[in-house]
C-alpha cells in the first residue's frame, strides 16, 4: 500500500509539470519519466497482477 501511495504522490507532482511542458522535452522531464518508470517497476515486482502495466512507454 505504501508503494502505491508514493506513486500517487509522484504523479500528483509530475502531471502538472508534464502538462505545462507538453511540447518541451528537457532533462527534468526525462528525469521525471525515469523516476516514474522506476517506481512502476517497484510496483510491478510487488504486485504480480500489474506485471504488464506501465503509464509511459517510448516504443
Q: Is the pLDDT of residue 36 over 70?
A: yes
SS3 content of the chain, % helix, strand, coil (to 5): 70, 0, 30
CA angle 29–46–50, rounded 5-degree value: 70
Whole-model pTM? 0.67
User: What is the pLDDT of the chain when averaged over all its residues?
Assistant: 83
Are 55 and 48 contacting, i.e. CB atoms less than 8 angstroms apart? no
Q: Is the pLDDT of residue 59 over 70?
A: no
pLDDT in tens, 12-28: 888 888 778 767 788 88
Classify burial at 37, counting beta carbons within 10 Å of its beta carbon; exposed 0-12, middle 13-18, buried 19 or more. Answer: middle
Amino acid at each position: 500500500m505504501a508503494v502505491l501511495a508514493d506513486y500517487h504522490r509522484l504523479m500528483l507532482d509530475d502531471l502538472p509539470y508534464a502538462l505545462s511542458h507538453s511540447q518541451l522535452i528537457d532533462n527534468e522531464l526525462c528525469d521525471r519519466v525515469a523516476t516514474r518508470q522506476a517506481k512502476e517497476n517497484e510496483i510491478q515486482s510487488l504486485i504480480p497482477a500489474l506485471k504488464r502495466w506501465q503509464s509511459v512507454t517510448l516504443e
